[in-house]
């Protein structure tokens, strides 16, 4: 069974940067992938997603201009570069992969729904202090 494993979390001060990685034990080059985060007492929210070919991306408004999602299909790895971090970015970050092949138009309306993904990593903690 394919597993996703996140790494790269940690504690930083506001304004700092972190780069998260998500390594898959299986091929992911044909599926949409995304990053979610969850703060204590809050619902899991979509942060960013990327098309299988790495061309198209979506971002939550709260991270636009600060976070960059990318992928290396040859390495079956998804990344999230997080710059200018804010205390509100604190939470557990999860990568996820979708199981259905969507058109971009279809995906763009569902990318931030957890139910659109079938496989999840265990999460990596990001803590941003002020």
E strand residue ranges, 63-109: 67-72, 77-82, 91-97
Nearest to 5 by CA among 92, 125, 123: 123
For the stretch 62-107, pLDDT in tens is 999 999 999 999 999 999 999 999 999 999 999 999 987 789 899 9
Tokens of 21: 């990685």
Tokens of 58: 């979506």
How close are the terminal C-alpha atoms of the chain, in Å? 40
Contact in structure between 4 and 24 (CB atoms under 8 Å):
yes
Dihedral pair phi/psi, residue 100, rounded to 5°: -100, 145
For the stretch 12-40, pLDDT in tens is 999 999 999 999 999 888 999 999 999 99
């Amino acid at each position: 069974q394919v597993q996703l494993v996140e790494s790269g979390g940690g504690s930083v001060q506001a304004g700092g940067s972190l780069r998260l990685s998500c390594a898959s034990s299986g091929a992911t080059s044909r599926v949409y992938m995304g990053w979610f985060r969850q703060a204590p007492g809050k619902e899991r929210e979509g942060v960013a997603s990327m098309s299988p070919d790495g061309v198209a991306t979506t971002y939550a408004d709260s991270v636009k201009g600060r976070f960059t999602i990318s992928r290396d299909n040859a390495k079956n790895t998804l990344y999230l570069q997080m710059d200018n971090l804010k205390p509100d970015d604190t939470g557990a970050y999860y990568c996820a992969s979708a199981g259905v092949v969507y058109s971009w138009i279809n995906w763009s309306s569902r990318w931030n729904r957890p139910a659109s993904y079938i496989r999840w990593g265990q999460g990596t903690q990001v803590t941003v202090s002020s």
